[in-house]
Structures are given as structure tokens and as C-alpha cells.
Chain A
Amino acid sequence: MSGPWSEEAEEDASSLAGTTDVELIKRAWRNEKAAPEILQFEGPLVLRVREQIQLLEETVEESTENGSNDLVVSLYQMDLDRTLFLLRSYLRIRLQKIEKYMIHISKTNLWNRLSEQEKKFAKRCTEIMEKLLEQSVLARLPYGYESFLKQSISSEEDDMVPEPQLDTFVFCKAKDAVGAFQLDDSGDEIVDLVADDLYVIRYKSIKGLVEAGQIDLV
């Protein structure tokens, strides 16, 4: 499967029950908020939402100019504000995750989940964090202990890099029944994921379902 966020899947999703882009961005926002690691950037969706915001802004402006009913204008404005909030908050949450896990992200294939602008941001953040720690601590430590990634020269791997806790618990809900689902590798725990039921599960176990858009975090 090429992933649910390929073009056709997305069209499918929006044609289903008339899901609007605003609802889609709300869903992306919720998932991003609840997931411990960074998810795929919703590039095309963000673009569409921004176009809609621009349209709404024009509508509000026009209605104000030709003296439409104040109530109507303020309803448009509220709609606009809500969408803007979702978009801003979505982008902010991602930046915060990047700030926290920038090195981990840049070393793994999570890197491909970032937008071009986010990649630039991540690079800059890493540079300045490294500079801060270099200036104040690392440059003043003895030989063998001055690495930003390794505790000492005898560490075999990078043992200083903060990583998201994937075994944290999340609340989730499936839109359609997923059916019997294996929670761990050993196959000891199997749950039947029913549509619209609320579950509390370790993120690690349902990571694949979240990425495939089969389950939503709340």
C-alpha cells in the first residue's frame, strides 16, 4: 500500500460522507497533538486550507465593504478564525516536536515527514542547540567526552539523543471496524477494534494504523 495520503486515497476520504478540508485538518491536528512522534506533513491539505482561508478573508472584506449584515460578517469571521486556529496550532505542534526530537528526526526516515520549510527549521535548530551546548559545556570538557551525541569516546552508539516515547498510552477511535488486531509481536494480546469505540492503547501497537489513517487519535 502506498499510504493513505497518496492523492487517490485523499480524494476518497474527502468524497466519503462529504468530509471537508476543515474536518480533515482538524483530524490531522488531533492526531499530531496526541501522537508522541511527528507524523507525515499534510502538504496538499495545508495548501487547500490556506486557499480556503484566503477565500473566506476576501468574503469577509467584501461583505464589510458593501455593508452586509453585521451578524453574517461575524459568522464568516468566526469560521475563518477557527480554521486559522487549527492551521496555526497544527504547524506549531509540529515545530515543537521538531525542537524536541530534531536529531532523532534527522537521523531516521522521520526526516521525510517534514515539509521543506520544516527541514530548514530543524537544521537551524540543531545548529544553534549544538552551538549553545558546545560553547557552554562540551568545549570545556576533557578529551574523549566532548561529543554532542556520545557520552564518551567509549560509547558504541549515539546515547545522548532524545527520542519520543512510543510506548506511551493514547486514546483512539476507529472510523470503520478494523477487526481483530494484534497488539504485540508475540501475538498474545488481540483486540477486536470496533468502529466508534474508544480505546486506550500503547501508541507503539497502533502506530501502523494511525499512519495508514485507519484509526484516529483523540
Chain B
Amino acid sequence: MRRAHFKFSWIVPLLLAPQLLVIFTFFYWPSAQALYWAFTLEQPWGGGNTWVGWDNFRKVLSDPYYWGSVRVSVIYALATTVLAMGMALTLALFVDRQLAGYRVWRVGIIWPYAVAAPAVGLAFQFVFNPGAGIFSYINTVSPGWWDLSKYPWQAVTAIVIAGAWKQVAYSFIFFLAALQSIPRSLTEAAAMDGARPLRRMLDLQLPLLTPTFFFLLVINITDSFTDSFGIVDTLTGGGPFRATDLMVYKIYSDGFRGLDYSGAAAQSIILMGLVMALTFIQFRYIERRVHYT
């Protein structure tokens, strides 16, 4: 940090207090509370919580539904990340050629970022609807083949596509920004050496994008673990047969519908650990290798 300029005075605590109070109350306290609940069990007839050690975790980890939820969360995270980043990267590489209409393409790809997850879920529920959406075509050919509310793999496909659709814009913005920060002299030198635009994409731009690529990889995976609730809730509601019961959705339904605070807290702690591990990987191994220029 830089050299400080003003001497400490009574205004410093005053300036810091609001933020510290807010994060203490709504961040640190709840996180600690989650830990407390994860290791205790509330008495059914009142009388406070009793310490149960790792029991809640054991219960969660021996629950086949929980592992089902983990499995589908991992599938969802990987599939949306691959789809969204692949599409974002392709589009960014071509938008970066800055042909006529460049601004129009850019806006056209950016705006989905602003769409609320439930709105995405709802729109895709219509698109994938067996009776009214675009898949009704398939169903007129072979009736009953497409039905989200019956076939688990179709429901998973639907949330993956909706999730990826929502994520494309974010990765696109970062890829495009990274492409535009590649020094022009490098591109010119490559062109002088006779590299045509496609060759430059493969041998110059893609290698220079690796740091952004890894950064986005971690961010996208973290996001798909934590930010899936709106889509799942409006598109599939976790069904059919819990096929789309992603981790955040399960925490919500166990905690607020099943009123199993301890189980939900144990799941929260596991998810927190996962997210923290991902963030740690990002800072430790990825941020360190980003300096190419």
C-alpha cells in the first residue's frame, strides 16, 4: 500500500464503522452461525442446541440425494462453463477484428448479462415447453418424446443451456477486453512476418489470452456453483426426481422447506469450503502467472 498522508484522527473509525458493522452483521456473524449450526443439533422441543460434532456432516455425506446433488452440480458447472466460455471466446475473437458493425455485435452479445436469472428461467421454460415452445415441433413428429418434467436428462440439458446463455456475456466482456489490450505492435509484427488473421488468432492471440482464460474458468465454475438458484427455481424446480437439485437449491429447500437448519448449515459449510478452495486456487496459482507483458 501507498504512503499514508493524513494522520490518524477521530474520523477514521467514523469512516470505517458503517462498512465494518454491515459486514460483521451480515457476513461474519452468519458465516460463524453456519459453523455453529453445522456442529450442533436443535432440540425438537426447544432448549437450545446440543453439540453433535461431525454428525451433521456424516448424515449429509451418507445421503445419496446429497451426492446426486453434488453430481448434477458438477455436471452443471462444467457443462455451462465449457459452453459459455467456448462461445464467448469464439465471438470475442471475431468481434475483435473490428469490422464494420463492430459496436452492434458487441452490444448484441453483452446485454444478456443484465437479464435476471428467473427471467432467463422463465423464457427458457417457454422455449423448452413440450406443448408451446420450439420443441413442440419435435413432439408433433414423435409425441411425448420431449418433456422436461418427465425426463431427467432433458431437464439437466435445459438448465445447462439456460445457465450457459446467461454466462456468455460475462466471459465475452473479459475476453474482448483482454484481446484489445494486446499491443498493436505485436499484431503488426506478426502481420509483417506474413501471418494471416486466422494464423494470428491461433498463434498470437490465443496464447496471450491464457491468463484471462484461467481466470474466467475459475470465476465461471464458482458462479455456476453459487448463482444457479433463479434458473433452477423457475425452470425445473429441482425436478424431475431431484435431477436438477443443485447444491444451492438443496440448501434452500432443506433449510427453508424442510426446516433442517443443521443439515442445511453443514451443506453450506461444504459449499463454502469448495468456493474458498476455488478462490484460493485462483489467487495462488493463477493470478501469479498472469504477467505476460
- Same assembly: no
Interface residues of B (CB under 8 A from A): none
Q: Which residues of A contact B (CB under 8 A)?
A: none
